[in-house]
Structure formats: C-alpha cells, structure tokens
Amino acid sequence: MKTQKFYVTTPIYYVNDRPHIGHSYTTVLADVLARYHRLLGDPTFFLTGTDEHGQKVQQAAQKAHITPQEQADQTVVRFQELWRKLNITHDDFIRTTEVRHTRVVQAILQDLYDRGEIYSAEYDGWYCLTCERFFTDKDLADGTCPECRRPVDKIREANYFFRMSRHQDWLIQYIQDHPQFIQPDSRRNETLGFLRNKLNDLCISRPKSRMAWGIELPFDSAYVTYVWFDALVNYISAVGYRSNETLFNKWWPASYHLIGKDILTTHTVYWPTMLQAMGLPQPETVFAHGWWLVGDSKMSKSAGNVVNPMDMVDRFGVDAFRYFLMAEMVLGQDASFTEDAFIRRYNADLANDLGNFLSRTLKMISANTGNRIPASGPDGVDEPVLRAAVLSAAQAMPGAISGMRLDLGLANVAQAVREANRYLEKRQPWTLAKNKDLPALSTVLYHAAEALRIISGLLYPVMPEKMASLRRTLGLPEGDPGISDLTVWGKTIAGTEVGPMQILFPRIEKPEASADVPVKVAPTALATPPVAGPEGLALIEYADFQKVQLRSAKVLSAERIEKADKLLRLQIEVGTETRQIVAGIAQSYTPEQVTGKTVILVANLKPAKIRGVDSQGMLLAASSGGQLRLVTVDGDLPSGAVVK
C-alpha cells in the first residue's frame, strides 16, 4: 500500500468547553492511521487544532467574565494536555487565532470578493446559535434547527454571501465521478440527497454589532467572518497555502479529512465549493465516522451522559483506552460505549489472551533457556498453523488500513493471539521441559517469541507504550517497527536476551453492583428504651435511611435556566458517570461560584423534569435565615465516593 504521502486531519475542536470522548476518538483514529503509515514508510503529516472564533466562544467568555481570547487560551490547554496524555503524535496543532491562519483567511476572502464570488445582500431567515448557521423556512424541522433540533431565532440583516449555488452542478458531478471522495457510501448518498434541493448561497459574515469575535472581513471592517468559512481554511493554511508553496504542494490535497457525521454538510458541500472557487484540488477523501452512544442515545452535554476520556485513561490506562476505541467501532457506524463493554473487551483481548500468551512465553524462556530466545528446531504439525495465522494478520493489516477497517485489522490480530495460545496448549512446552525434550521446546519457544514480535508490531500504532515495553522485554531494537519486517517470519535473533516478566494488562475485577454501598448491619436489641426525638420531628427507621444513597460529585459546569430565577442547570461528575442536575441555588450561587465544587448528591433519587429540564438526582444544602449553602466535601476526595 505504498503511497507518495499521507496527510490526515481531524476537525479543529471548538474551545467553548472541555474535550470529550468524541474529540478523543477522532484524534486517536487519526493518530493510529498516521502511525501505521509511518510504519509503511509513507511521508506522513498529521494535523489537528482548535476552532477559536464564533458566537459560542464569545458567549462562553462572557459567562466566565473573561475575553474571548482568554477563553480560547484557557480551553486550548485542555485539548493539548489530553492529546499528550493520549500519546497523540500530531505534526502540527493549529489555532484559528494565529496570525498564520487569519492572514490566509483574509487573503482568500479578498480574492473571492474581487472575483465576484462574494457579494452583499440583505438576509431574512432563521439562525441557530448552537450550529451558528442560517436556515430557510423549508430547512426547519418542526420549527427547530434541522441539525441539532434546538430553537432558532428570526434574523433580518445585511450580510455577505458566497455564491455557493453557482457550484452545485459541478459538485454533484464531482461526487458521482469520484466515489472515494465521500466515505462511507451512506454519507456519500446523504450528501447527494441534500444536493437534490436547490443549493442556497452561503452567508459568510456576521455584523460586529451582533457578534464581534471573529476574523474581520478585509473589505468591510463592520463584519467578521462566519466561523465555518474561517475554520475550514485551517486544512490549507497549516500546510503553507499562500505562505509556502513548496510545503503546500508537498502535502495538499489531504488524504483524509476525518470528521463526525454531524458536520458532514460543512465538509462535503461548503468546503468543496470553497476550494472550487479558489481553484484548488479537492481532498482525496472526507471520511465521516459514527457517534459514540450510551445505550441508544448520542452522548451530549445536555443529556448529561458524556464520557470524560481523562477519567477512563486514569482508571484503565491510555493504551487500553486507545485499543477499545479502535477495536469497538466499525468506521462509519455508531458504537455504544459502556464500562461493561470496555471491561469485557479489555479482559478478553488484552488481559486474558495477549497477557496470558506473553506471560507463559516469558516464564518458559526464563525457566528453561537462561532468559535467552532459543534457536528453532524442525517444524512439527502445529508450527505452520501458527505461522499462517500470525502472518495472515500481518499481511491483512495494510488492506485494513487503506479500507478504513481498523476494527477488522485488530480482529485479525486478536485471532492470531488466540491461535498462539492454542499453539501453546497443543505443544505444551511445560511438558516438553519436564520430559527434557529440548529440541522441541526450543522450537516452541522460538515460535512463541517470533509471534510476539509480529503481534506487538501490528499493535504498536494502537498501543505504543505497552507494545514498546513488550518489544524491549523481547530484546527488540528501540523505535518504530517496519511493517515490511512484520510480514516476514524468522526476524527474531536466536540468543537474544529477554527482560524480566511483567504484567502489561492486569485483569480488571469488576466489583459487584453493591460493592461501594456501605455494608448493612442488622440492628441489635437495645438495652435501654430509645430516647424520644425532638418534638415535631418525624423519626425514621435505620432501614429507611439505608435506602438513600449519597455520593460525592464534582460540578463540571453550570448555567442559568431561562425564566427560572432560582434554578441552575448543572453537569456533575459522579465517578465515571456524568449527570445533569437542576438545583434551586441560583439566588445563592452564580454558575462560576459553583463550578468545580465537590458536593453531596442524593444519587438514587428518581429522575424528574423541572421546568421541562431533566434532573437526575438532588444536591444537599443547608439553609438558614434565607441563606443557602451547599454541603461540600472537606479535603481532596474523588467524585463518586460513598457518603456514610
């Protein structure tokens, strides 16, 4: 699968909030693809970054009482820190507030305006703040935004428009002539379906009087650029468009734009027509992957079910998290994320299969051949079967990469690991050692070590830390393994010293559902009659109190609920779970004051709707004389801890 170059991009992520599993998935996917292509010897460039303009960033800054630039500077760090933690090997990280980007955007705008591709007109239509897009009456879905189904506002104002409709016929023909341009095919058909309707021109400006945070139009200082017209340009501004022709010609067009399916239209309609108007080649493929679901529901902040990748990495390790993301989702389809599914795959593929094979191999080499890999003797009937399984996985991996079926590539590797364990069961090296059959034992241990060399190389782009450790233990050279070496059997050098035994993937023992609930102790008979409670106070039995489950919870974010003076909508973290709570504390706390606090949650309260907003639990607070104060945790305690 040799190519001249491989240029892969992620979307640039919005800096109005912290990163979540969706951001992590796309970025890990891009990283794994980039790492595999480096193993293939392809010149590779991997771009990611942040989208730092637009109304949502401006509003987030206003809520935090800081400038939009300060909002961007503070939030971008969260993405950069997470990418370091996830072992992301991007070649560039672009921010749309950087001068190298804003200059290119303004140059493009001026050129398109001078050539009549941009014009001024009055707009009368519906605006979605969340998507930062305008829609016509026919676009709306039951009066709401067709993309996010949130309310829209009626706006009438003068603006600038890109003549996107001029390029509709060309775009339809281009998509039909280039079936790889939009993948998977379901997304290609979705875009073609969208283009059956007349394409409107694209509003590419926002008046500063309404939204001032953006790149100023070079031909009208009263306006800033529409955030999508700005953001999409990052794919070319980062690789030298209008600044470094040699660099640009080296990398453009992109091999893959990796996106979530929710931004399909912007990348398969807006972006291609923009490039066509600029006279630039199209990217080779725009690949739209599916969503991560919790049950049947998409992860979203409003639903309170967003998985925090930092938590998963801290609990289970970065490589295990990366492996699950790549192995679990079929690219293009949705996938369900649950902790049970994570633990099942981790224990089956990593702790049991790979961990067991590694452990048995190293123990036998340590105990019988002086910590050195022995030379192989003659084959028996089982050696060709093992070799075929391992080499088959290695030979299939390049095709899995080019076909964007990493899940299949990893399934083939998992099958090779299972075959390797069957090989040990059949050959029983422990019995060969006991019977002093050293020639046969040497053959088995060499084949096991060689299988580990190839398997660890195939898994290296997905789990770079753990596989680098495994390869060091096998005495293999440092650095990236070449895939060409992984398709050839016999590269392991007999006599190589192996390192000490290590457990790369300790098994996760899932606690019983009630393990974190205080042990119930049956009350003993009282020696004296119970003391009466204060007058007017209804007493409850201890068994009644036991029904209430109290947990520590960290407030991740807070916002006021419209037309509800006393209510705040909170997103809280309870262990690995994120919930939404409606709390009547707005007259005592601002959103900024409550964010970051570790509070006490009644975790098993039946969910309710308050002012039409879902609430999953209740916070404890004390009140006196009209003052209200939240019950908080003294000291550093993780969220989800049991309150006894």
Amino acid letter for position 497: E
Rounded to a whole number, what is the distance in angstroms from the first to the last CA of the chain?
Answer: 60
Strand partners, 258: 287
Specify whether the CB–CB gap between 195 and 237 falls below 8 A. no
pLDDT for 448 beyond 70: yes
pLDDT above 50 for 4: yes
Read off the pLDDT band of 545 (50, 70, 90). Answer: low
Give the start-to-end residue ranges of the domains of the chain. Answer: 6-312, 338-486, 542-630
Measured CA angle at 618 (ends 613, 620), to 5 deg:
140
Q: In whole angstroms, what is the distance from residue 410 CA to residue 417 CA?
A: 11
What are the contacts of 127-133 at 24+ separation with CB within 8 A? 127/152, 127/153, 127/154, 127/155, 128/152, 129/55, 129/56, 129/59, 129/153, 130/56, 132/54, 132/55, 132/56, 132/226, 132/227, 132/228, 133/228
Report the pLDDT value the prediction gives residue 296, as an integer from 0 to 100.
62
Say what the pLDDT of residue 220 is: 97
Give the Cα separation of 321 and 472 in Å (integer).
22
Out of 37-51, 145-159, 418-432, 534-548, which region has the weakest mean confidence (pLDDT)?
534-548
Q: What percent of the chain has pLDDT over 70?
A: 89
Is the pLDDT assigned to residue 204 strictly greater than 90? yes
**Does the pLDDT value for residue 594 go beyond 90?**
no
Mean pLDDT of 2-31: 87
pLDDT for the residue numbered 336: 82
What is the per-residue pLDDT for 513? 42
How many Å apart are CA 185 and CA 261, to the nearest integer? 12
Residue 635 has pLDDT above 60, yes or no: no
For residue 67, the one-letter residue type is: T
3-class SS of residue 639: coil
pLDDT of 526 reads 29
Residues 170-175 have a mean pLDDT of: 98
**One CATH from 1.10.730.10, 3.40.50.1820, 2.30.130.10, 3.40.50.300 for 338-486:** 1.10.730.10
Q: Give Dmax over CA atoms of the chain in angstroms.
A: 95
Give the model's confidence band at 563: pLDDT under 50 very low, under 70 low, under 90 confident, else very high: confident
pLDDT at 268: 98
What pLDDT sits at residue 532? 43
Query: What is the average pLDDT value for the chain, to the nearest integer?
Result: 88
Name the residue among 220, 183, 233 with its Cα closest to residue 53: 233
Task: For residue 530, name the pLDDT band (cuts at 50, 70, 90).
Answer: very low
142: CB partners within 8 A, 6+ apart:
none
Tell me, what's the pLDDT at 207?
94
The model's pTM is: 0.76
Of residues 639 and 333, more confidence is placed in 333
User: Quick one: which of 130, 148, 23, 26 has its CA closest to 76?
Assistant: 23
pLDDT grade for 333, boundaries at 50, 70 and 90: confident
291-319 pLDDT per residue, tens:
888 766 665 655 566 667 778 888 889 99
Dump pLDDT digits (tens) for 230-242: 999 999 999 999 9
In the numeric block, which tokens belong to residue 250? 């080296």
The CATH class for the domain spanning 6-312 reads alpha beta
* pLDDT for 624: 63
Specify the range with the lowest mean pLDDT, choosing from 46-50, 407-411, 460-464, 632-636.
632-636
The pLDDT of residue 510 is above 90? no
The mean pLDDT of 264-289, rounded to a whole number, is 97
Q: Return the top range by mean pLDDT from 357-366, 564-573, 628-637.
A: 357-366
Nearest Cα neighbor of 101 from 236, 225, 244, 206 is: 236
pLDDT at 544: 54
542-630: CATH architecture: Beta Barrel (2.40)
Task: Name the percent of the chain lying above pLDDT 90.
Answer: 62
